[in-house]
Chains A and B, each alone.
Chain A
Amino acid sequence: MNVVVCVKRVPATGGRIALTADGQEIDTRFLGFTISPHEECAVEEAVRIVEAGGGSSTVLTLGPEAASEQLRDAMAIGVDRAVLLETDGSDWDPIATADAIVDAIRALEAEGERFDLLLFGNESADSGGYQVGIRVATALGLPVVTGIKAIQAGDGRVEARREAAGGWEVFELPMPAVLGVKEGLNLPRYPSVPGRLRAKKKEIVRIVPERRPGGPTKERLRLPQADESQVEVIGAGADAAPAVVELLVRLGVAAR
């Protein structure tokens, strides 16, 4: 089976977010970069599907040249090859992003390639639009379902499950199909040193995409009003236990 997985490079923000002075971007001077945990699981799933049944896996991203770091990370855990839709690093809206991905898939198909499964994150880590995968599927005329936490693919069909009210909803789609997946789908492996070395030598196909903006149009970013509380230190070490229980009783979560 041939699987494509789409990932997005985002800053690995930690304790708090700082913005650039013009409010247009996150200040990334002191930050590393990563992809969404949802997408990490999509990458792992692509590798497992190919390990189990043959075929090939492709990781695709739209982003700056620096995003080849995220492509190499995916190849380090076993993805066969990568496609970079290279931009100047500015934000692309969901319509422009989906259009560029559709163009790239069509271009690869025009060269005779066939894909059975296109995997997306349920939502991107930064902009969280919940839509790029569905837009790509609609443009390509493929069935799609999102929120997926279990996949079984084979025999031209894929069974996909999502959590609902503590239980599961089960979908069955004919392939080729598009799935938006969530963290918890699997437990991604860590890259090995040989894996990292192999990834360095693997191919990255570069395409310069055409940008057709469609909105919504970002004006600026803002930090939400901090509901920062004054923390009351009620003690240190095991000696704090009586004071903690006093507090639990006062809050009504423990009975005296």
Chain B
Amino acid sequence: MILILVEHGGGRPERLSLEALALASRIAAATGGPIEAVLVGSEAREAAGLLGGRGVEVVHAVEHDRLVAFAPTAWAAALVQLIGDRSPAVVLAAGSDRGNEVMAHVAARLELPLATQCTDVTPGDPLRLTRQRWAGSLLEDAVLDAPTKLLTVAPHTFAIEDAASGADAASPRVQPFAPDLTESDLRVAVTRRLEPDRTGVSLGDARVVVGGGRGVGSAEAFAELEELASLLGGAVGVSRVVTSNGWRPHAMQIGQTGLRIAPDLYIACGISGAIQHIVGAKAAKRILAINTDRDAPIMSVADYAVIGDLHQVVPAISAELRRLRDG
């Protein structure tokens, strides 16, 4: 049996959890075992209804009057109890913030190894897998030898499968599960939430991102990039050099220790293309590099390039766009 932690929000399963479910289905197809899912919290039943046609036989809806807000240790305690009851061969979750955190707790409690950010799995005993290092710039082939195999699934690796229709589309059977939680399990929980203050296009959702790196040269010079971004209805993102210099806040950083973006077009201005930056932008459909150096590493991942000083090129593009707009 394969047990999967499915995160959900607003009564719907999260995207990354459905990707993890695609890997669970592959393992199930190879081993013939059934899939059971774990969903925590008040909207679990609603979200469970949307798992029909995805090969999940049973949903364990974890319900506890003190499990309203996210509580990593308590979620892990519930999972550990279910693992004890159901003896799954494989337990997996999305390689999301919560998925990695909860699975690390499960692994620590069971004193078992955990393979995070997996991109490929060959079921068996021991289990062979490939996992990401350096946020995906490097891969590691590894062996997981344990009575229960604990995994998380690298985001954006597995395509979400279409739900089956007809006889296979039945919703999973929902079984309530009331875990035994101690005070110590419940000692870490979200005590309150601060809602975002939304201004403008968010970097994560923008169709066009104008990226600026060391080549921009100063905090003030970002006005040139902001103008281009606003003409294109996009957002500005930056490299780590820019945040380390205090030119722009870290919330705007793209890369291994910043945000992963997936716009239609990424315009990288004065950015050399270090692997830690590129892992954050490689999901962009197209990359246009503007750089004085024809041989910068960014050229090997870019689709288009303009060779030149961004302080001349970027304002010229904005002027051309304004001319077009104003007829």
Contact = CB atoms under 8 A, between A and B. Distances in A.
Interface of A: 13-17, 26, 36-38, 93-95, 98, 123, 125-131, 134-135, 137-139, 141, 143-147, 161-162, 164-174, 182-184, 187-188, 214-224, 226-229, 231-242, 244-245, 247-248, 251-256
Nearest to A172: B191
A14 B129 CA distance: 27
A219 B143 contact: yes
A232 B303 contact: yes
B139 A223 contact: yes
B196 A218 contact: no
A168 B265 contact: no
A211 B325 CA distance: 66
B175 interface: no
Contact of A237 (B101, B129, B308): B308
Contacts of A231: 289, 299-300, 302-305
B303 A143 contact: no
B236 to A, nearest CB: 15
B134 A253 contact: no
Nearest to A187: B246
B70 interface: yes
Contact of B275 (A17, A134, A222): A17
B141 A219 contact: yes
A254 B133 contact: no
Determine chain B's interface SS by DSSP, over half rule: mixed
A166 B202 contact: yes
B257 A38 contact: yes
B321 to A, nearest CB: 6
B116 to A, nearest CB: 5
A190 B187 CA distance: 37
A234 B316 contact: no
A168 B194 contact: yes
Given A17-B275, A224-B138, A253 B240 contact: no
Contact of B194 (A138, A143, A170): A170
Given A134-B105, A139-B108, A244 B191 contact: no
B15 to A, nearest CB: 13
A188 B133 CA distance: 25
Interface string B16-53: 00000000000000000000000000000000000000
11 contacts: A14-B275, A15-B275, A128-B117, A128-B133, A135-B108, A220-B141, A221-B141, A224-B139, A229-B302, A235-B306, A253-B265
Given A37-B257, A240-B313, A245 B321 contact: yes
Given A168-B194, A221-B139, A15 B320 contact: no
A139 to B, nearest CB: 7
Contacts of B315: 238
Contact of A15 (B140, B249, B273): B273
Given A134-B104, A169-B193, 8 more contacts: A14-B297, A138-B108, A184-B253, A216-B142, A217-B145, A220-B140, A223-B138, A238-B312
Given A125-B256, A183-B250, A143 B188 contact: yes
B87 interface: no
Given A169-B190, A223-B138, A130 B116 contact: yes
A165 B141 CA distance: 33
A234 B190 contact: no
Contact of B297 (A15, A166, A216, A242): A15
B232 A248 contact: yes
Nearest to B128: A219
A244 B101 contact: no
B70 A169 contact: yes
Contacts of A13: 134, 137, 274-276
B163 interface: no
A130 B308 CA distance: 41
Contacts of A146: 72, 97, 100-101, 104
B3 interface: no
Contacts of A255: 324-325
A211 to B, nearest CB: 15
B143 A166 contact: no
B70 to A, nearest CB: 7
B242 to A, nearest CB: 12
A134 B305 contact: no
A253 B232 contact: yes
Interface in B313-327: 313, 315-317, 319-321, 324-325
Contact of A126 (B134, B240, B286): B134
A37 B240 CA distance: 9
A126 B202 CA distance: 29
A251 B64 CA distance: 51
A221 B139 CA distance: 6
The 7 A-B residue pairs with the shortest CB-CB distance in the complex, in nearest-first order: A184-B250, A15-B297, A215-B113, A166-B196, A138-B108, A238-B316, A241-B316
B319 A94 contact: no
B324 A127 contact: no
B187 A143 contact: yes
Interface in B117-173: 117, 129-146, 152
